[in-house]
Amino acid sequence: MSVLRAAICGIALVCVAVPAVAQDAAARSGQKDFDFELGTWTTSVKVLRNPLSGQKPDWVEFKGTSAVKPLLDGRANFVELSVASATGKIEGGSLRLYNPQTRQWNINYANLRNGSLTAPVYGGFDAKGRGTFYGQDNVDGRVIIVRFLITPVSKTEIHFDQAFSADGGATWESNWIAVDTLRGG
């Protein structure tokens, strides 16, 4: 489940690097920070099937769509993800909620394969529009830190990178890399 949840997941661990994001966000509301992503996207995803194993990386590639819809006057949004490869499908939804008191977003992923809802990752966007989110997860019984980065490249392309750290954030191993391209963009 950890790899499938890699799209958008984790449990709150705000102490790693979110404070730097929060300082920037304190000067403004971040409620509209995800507005750039609203719409329907063609999605290419690479998933590492053996994260933090110490073995040769085993990547699988998926293609499909990601549709992002606003909710509650922009204070939340929902992502519908559906990607497939020769080895299977990943389908799920991500609920993103904005907290105006902390000026941070939390991201929660619902996995349709097993009906589970993950605990959130927390963070926000810096002045350049890059989103950084941190949380906690388990891989093979080990508690690890999750870092999820959202980088808008242009108005029609966004990069996503999720990485795990088993050593408190000293080193990171990417396990979910996605590129979204706006349809009709």
Q: pLDDT tens for the chain, 185 residues: list them.
A: 443 333 333 333 333 434 444 444 445 678 889 999 999 999 999 999 999 999 999 999 999 999 999 999 888 999 999 999 999 999 999 999 999 999 999 999 998 888 888 768 999 999 899 999 999 988 888 999 999 999 999 999 999 999 999 999 999 999 999 999 999 76
Q: With beta carbons less than 8 A apart as the criterion, state whether 184 and 170 touch.
A: no
Please tell me whether residue 92 adopts helix, strand or coil conformation. Answer: strand
**Domain made up of 4-182: CATH architecture:** Beta Barrel (2.40)
Expressed in angstroms, the distance from the first to the final Cα of the chain is 33
Residue 74 has a pLDDT of 84
Facing residues of 125 across strands? Answer: 131
Write down the domain spans for the chain. Answer: 4-182
Residue 10 has a pLDDT of 34
Residue 30 has a pLDDT of 86
Q: CA-to-CA distance for 183 and 148, rounded, in angstroms?
A: 23
Residue 43 has a pLDDT of 97
Residue 185 has a pLDDT of 62
Q: CA-to-CA distance for 130 and 4, rounded, in angstroms?
A: 23
- Torsion sign across C-alpha atoms 132, 99, 95, 168: positive
Residue 100 has a pLDDT of 92
Residue 126 has a pLDDT of 93
* Tokens, residue 178: 């996605």
Model pLDDT for residues 133-178, shown as the tens digit of each residue: 999 988 888 999 999 999 999 999 999 999 999 999 999 999 999 9
Q: CA-to-CA distance for 94 and 172, rounded, in angstroms?
A: 23
Kind plus residue range of the DSSP H or E element containing 20: helix 18-25
Q: CA-to-CA distance for 102 and 185, rounded, in angstroms?
A: 33
Residue 120 has a pLDDT of 85
